[in-house]
Amino acid sequence: MNITHLSAECYPIAKVGGLADVVGALPKYQNELGANSRVIMPFYNNAYTSTHQFHSIYNSVLNLGETTYEYQILKLQNEALEFDIFFVHVPELLFKDYVYSAEDTLRFLAFQIGALDWIIQQDELPEVIHCHDHHTGLVPFMMKESYKYAKLQGVPSILTIHNAQYQGWFSHDLVGLIPEFNFVHVGLLDWYSVINPLASAIKCAWRVTTVSPSYMEELKASANGLEALLRHEYAKCIGILNGIDTEVWNPETDSYVIKNYNIDTIAEGKESNKAWICKEFNLDINKPLIAFIGRLVHEKGSDLFPGIFDTILQQNNCNILLLGSGNSDVELQLNTLKPSFAGIYNTFIGYDEKLSHIIYAGADFLLMPSRVEPCGLNQMYSLRYGTIPIVNKIGGLKDTVIDINTPNGFGICHDGATPAEICNAINRAVAFYDDPKFTQIRREIMTIDHSWHASAKAYLNLYNSLKPAL
């Protein structure tokens, strides 16, 4: 089966968050199951694109309303990825040193139109077009309604919602940028009087998936304005839990970590990684190390961190290390706390892939008190590295972590992202560090299977269920 994924991010080429990890792994696992799965993404100006070889396979122009842009389709020459990856290169709009910006309407429209213009030139059409998040949300509409893409009307389109908070809204004044369609159907673009690419994709895609079953349920009650639409379209919606790439995220072979380890050598392995972290960040190796890795945004509960860390660190019985960036007030407050808790607290404000791997390996607990977590990959990475997750019981966190106080439990769960609940959960973790079961549990969690195998199959089953209509 020929599957084309369209995405703004794909690891290792361009990554802002978990979307990249998913799109960088799912096609590989689909190919292992016999599919021919490929990715199309924008061509950015970043460290990866400047150090790898690409060749141009298509040269043309694309139109955004009255304006014409030259563009190319590039193909990456890299067998190591185990799937083909193509790039829409619109020098004027997409070739920037960032992924997202304030001009994303034009940029991602150019991406979507450039991709579809190229796809319809090919002799063989994809059997499925799989769109990820709002950046590719106009594709299902254009495939269904734009005259120039009539050839694609019979090709199933899938939307995966990785995060419904971001919807890509823009004004109807810009509707002329979308390739011509029968204006009677303009309502398929609209939600509350603006063009809403995510809503449009929910209306027009043949199937809609979210990245965990619990998030799918939660969206019916809270989806940043799209609740009623999701309830209405529920029959075509399904939650499929993300997997993790167990080749990239393997403590035994991970080239980023300080010392590799497996279930038999976990004690020495984690100790060496923790020792490196404690030296690098001036932390106390004899106390449990609680880490946070992620975007400092409201959804992750990061505005609560300064207050919570202050309360917890006063007790002087654990270390806290944070790797992340985002809201500048939160960044400032987190850094302001440092002098008061030197020796048990530190931050790295920024993005650092290597450091994140070392932290998954060296931390004792990983904190994820998210208010919203569609799936969350960090808790699955931490399990694989023998690091016990502390999570709020929502979305994908609820689907992947069971509290230690329940049968077969292995993590620390709390009910709600409130300071009291989070502090209580951290205190439970600190107490558990001295429990005789601590070492046994961290060995056991390394063996939990969150690989992509089952989910890649679930997506193929979903595509296959649409086949008779081809």
Residues near ligand GLC (CB under 6 A): 17-19, 22, 162-163, 211, 242, 373-377, 396
The answer to whether 130 touches 6, Cβ cutoff 8 Å, is yes
Who's near 378: CB < 8 A, 6+ residues apart?
A: 293, 294, 360, 366, 368, 389
Closest to ligand GLC by CB, 21 or 117: 21
Closest to ligand GLC by CB, 25 or 143: 25
Residue 401 interacts with ligand ADP (CB under 6 A): yes or no: no
The least distance separating ligand ADP from the CB of residue 4, rounded to whole angstroms, comes to: 22
Closest to ligand GLC by CB, 125 or 448: 448
Closest to ligand GLC by CB, 145 or 399: 399
Structure tokens at 107: 């940029």
Residue 356 interacts with ligand ADP (CB under 6 A): yes or no: yes
Task: Name residues contacting ligand ADP, limited to 2-31 (CB under 6 A).
Answer: 17-19, 21
| Alpha-helix runs per DSSP H in 41-166 | 47-51, 104-119, 139-145
The least distance separating ligand ADP from the CB of residue 271, rounded to whole angstroms, comes to: 22
Partner from ligand GLC, ligand ADP, none contacting 356, C-beta within 5 to 8 A by type = ligand ADP
C-alpha closest to that of 197 among 174, 220, 217: 174
Partner from ligand GLC, ligand ADP, none contacting 341, C-beta within 5 to 8 A by type = none
Closest to ligand GLC by CB, 254 or 373: 373
Binding mask 336-355 for ligand ADP (x = CB under 6 A): ---------------xxx--
Task: Name residues contacting ligand ADP, limited to 239-298 (CB under 6 A).
Answer: 293-295
Partner from ligand GLC, ligand ADP, none contacting 364, C-beta within 5 to 8 A by type = none
The least distance separating ligand GLC from the CB of residue 424, rounded to whole angstroms, comes to: 24
Q: What string of H, E and C letters represents the secondary structure of 114-163?
A: HHHHHHCCCCCCCCEEEEECHHHCCHHHHHHHEHHHHHHCCCCEEEEECC
Who's near 370: CB < 8 A, 6+ residues apart?
A: 299, 300, 301, 376, 391, 392, 394, 395, 397, 417
The least distance separating ligand ADP from the CB of residue 11, rounded to whole angstroms, comes to: 8
Closest to ligand ADP by CB, 195 or 375: 375
Whole-angstrom distance, CA of residue 412 vs CA of residue 382: 13
Which residue's Cβ lies closest to ligand ADP?
A: 18
C-alpha closest to that of 359 among 335, 339, 385, 336: 385
| Alpha-helix runs per DSSP H in 175-245 | 197-204, 213-221, 227-232
Closest to ligand GLC by CB, 278 or 372: 372
DSSP character for 153? T
Whole-angstrom distance, CA of residue 253 vs CA of residue 240: 28
Round the CA-based radius of gyration of the chain to a whole number and report it.
23
Residues that bind ligand ADP (CB under 6 A): 17-19, 21, 293-295, 323-325, 351-353, 356, 375-378
